[in-house]
Amino acid sequence: MDTRPREKREFVRVPFTTEAEIQIGEMLIRSSSGINISLNGLRLATEQSVADEGGPCIIKIVLKAFNHHVIIEAQGQVARTGPGFLAVEFTELDPDSYLHLRQLIINNADDPLRAEEEFDAHWGIRRPSQ
């Protein structure tokens, strides 16, 4: 019998160093530290205070390589806030952003095979209805 605690997250999270921007109404939050990304959302370090938990936001994740960079864009909502952090849930990703995000996670996961299996068990960024 497996006695390990069951992981509640739907997707593997990976720490990643990059630039991220979260637009919440008129507030723009930029961070390049403490970033954890999954196919479901991201958490980042910020000293800015956010009171709009549950509110809509626009997320941009900037991937840079040599002289080329890609921007992953998503619609989302503020999932959690606390001293020094902000967590957002993705609610909508365009197909290109989805593919870039998926590849980023697979390339940086401790267990890429597990990440692939989790992605295959979902339909996009949500678990299929049963």
What integer pLDDT is reported at residue 34 of this predicted model? 85
What integer pLDDT is reported at residue 31 of this predicted model? 92
- Number of structural domains found in the chain: 1
Q: Does 107 fall in a domain?
A: yes
What integer pLDDT is reported at residue 116 of this predicted model? 86
pLDDT digit string, tens, across residues 64-121: 877 888 999 999 999 999 889 999 999 999 999 999 999 999 999 998 898 888 888 8
Task: Report the C-alpha gap between 86 and 79 in whole angstroms.
Answer: 8
115: phi then psi, degrees, rounded to nearest 5 = -60, -45
Task: Report the C-alpha gap between 94 and 81 in whole angstroms.
Answer: 25
> What distances in angstroms separate CA 112 from CA 21, 34, 64, 66, one per listed residue?
26, 21, 21, 24
Domain extent at residue 106: 14-120
What integer pLDDT is reported at residue 30 of this predicted model? 93
Q: Does 22 fall in a domain?
A: yes
Task: Report the C-alpha gap between 108 and 81 in whole angstroms.
Answer: 25
Q: Which residue has the higher pLDDT, 125 or 48?
A: 48
Q: Is the pLDDT of residue 5 over 50?
A: no
What integer pLDDT is reported at residue 85 of this predicted model? 93
> What is the 3-state secondary structure of 47-83?
CCCCCCCCCEEEEEEEEEECCEEEEEEEEEEEEEEEC
CATH of the domain at 57: 2.40.10.220
What integer pLDDT is reported at residue 49 of this predicted model? 83
List, in sequence order, every residue forming a beta bridge with 88; answer none if it has no partner: 42, 78
pLDDT digit string, tens, across residues 34-69: 899 998 899 999 988 887 788 999 999 999 877 888
